[in-house]
Amino acid sequence: MNRIIRIAAALALSAGLTFGAVAAQSASISGEVKKIDEGAGKITLKHGPAKSLGMEEPMTMVYRVKDPAMLKQVKVGDKVTFEAEEATSGYTVTKMDKAK
């Protein structure tokens, strides 16, 4: 009986980790840097659907950045993956990495 409980616990943990990884991937948005405005702390990104933000269609948008240092890590033309959130002042990029 103890072995069955351990197997069930391992399966539940495995399923939970898999779901968490899928949820994290769905929050990531693929895009391309079109413009950087360091003075205003903004970046223009052309991106595919952003389901985490309720955007079903590809579009080009201006985003604020949570950390201005993010703007120094990319240049116009770079492919990126990013996460963003909606705030009262608009959409804000909270995480951004160059695409691999």
When the pLDDT of each residue in the chain is averaged and rounded to a whole number, the result is 84
- In the predicted model, is pLDDT for residue 69 greater than 80? yes
Rounded average pLDDT over 63-71:
96
Q: What is the pTM of this model?
A: 0.73
Walk me through the domains of the chain, giving residue ranges and CATH numbers: 29-98 (2.40.50.320)
Convert the pLDDT of each residue in 8-29 to its tens digit: 666 665 555 444 443 444 589 9
82's tokens: 């990013």
What is the CB neighbour count within 10 angstroms for residue 84?
A: 26
What pLDDT is recorded for position 10?
Answer: 60
